[in-house]
Amino acid sequence: MKGAPERIINRCTKILVNGEEYDMTDEARQDVDQANSALGGLGERVLALAMYKLDPNIFTKSPAYPFDVESWKGWKDVKERDPNITGWFPMFNLTLVGLVSLNDPPRPSTAHAVAKCRKAGIKVIMVTGDQPATAAAIAHKVNIISDPELEYNYMVKTLKMEEREAWEKSEAIVIHGDYLAEKHHEQEAL
């Protein structure tokens, strides 16, 4: 499995180190999170890779096992194999293999376009599928965030500033889509 580190890591109970599988401890999780943050902070797009060893008695019988890649959302939270679910495949209890970072720099003209928009009085907002650290680094590269040390989350998490003070002093904020979805859901429930 590959995907956003925050999604994949939460599905892993083991980690591969020098070819050996070990339990995913809190310390190992912190190390992976630190590496993820460091790579994201450089503006790298980060993917986590995980594996699962399939039981050959189940998954290689003839005829070929019918993996269901179309209606999996109906059983996506099933953590252990249920023989009544046709096409089920494991999405939990995975082994983290590692992180891969990709350098996908913004187009050279983007920073100039942002500057022109600002000069015209247009407030520039970036929407991306990247994780927050990567989004902040890229936003800084294209001058959407002029000073990364004045980004709200950086001030709270790295500088350990109180939330209210950070809010008053910050000049930018990176908001994860999951947080927006959560707030939207809360407002719908009112």
The 10s digit of each residue's pLDDT in 11-70 is 999 999 999 999 999 999 999 999 998 998 888 999 999 999 998 888 877 678 888 889
C-beta of residue 81 within 8 angstroms of C-beta of residue 88: yes
Coil, helix or strand for 92?
Answer: coil
Strand spans (E) along the chain = 2-3, 12-17, 20-23, 45-51, 94-102
C-beta of residue 46 within 8 angstroms of C-beta of residue 36: yes
C-beta of residue 111 within 8 angstroms of C-beta of residue 143: yes
Q: How are beta strands 12-17 and 94-102 bridged, if at all?
A: parallel
Average pLDDT over residues 150-164: 94
Are 83 and 115 within one domain? no
Residue that finishes a domain, picked among 79, 102, 125: 102
Are 30 and 94 within one domain? yes
Categorize the per-residue pLDDT at 2 as very low, low, confident or very high, splitting at 50, 70 and 90. Answer: very high
Are 78 and 22 within one domain? yes
What is the structure's pLDDT at 152? 94
Are 45 and 115 within one domain? no
Give the single-character DSSP code of 50: E
pLDDT in tens, 88-142: 889 999 999 999 999 888 999 999 999 999 999 999 999 988 888 889 999 999 9
Are 98 and 119 within one domain? no
Coil, helix or strand for 153?
Answer: helix
Residue that finishes a domain, picked among 58, 73, 102: 102
Query: Does 71 score more than 90 pLDDT?
Result: no
Are 53 and 129 within one domain? no
Are 52 and 138 within one domain? no
**In sequence order, which ranges of 54-131 are alpha helices (DSSP H)?**
56-59, 109-119
Are 87 and 17 within one domain? yes
Average pLDDT over residues 69-78: 87
**Sheet strand arrangement including 94-102:** 2-3, 45-51, 94-102, 12-17, 20-23
> What domain count does the chain have?
2
- pTM exceeds 0.85 for this model: no
Domain residue limits at 181: 109-189
Residue that finishes a domain, picked among 102, 129, 162: 102
First to last CA, the chain: 37
What is the structure's pLDDT at 176? 86
> Phi, psi at residue 73, to the nearest 5°?
-65, -25
Q: How far apart are CA 165 and CA 54, in angstroms?
A: 51
Are 180 and 88 within one domain? no
C-beta of residue 40 within 8 angstroms of C-beta of residue 94: no
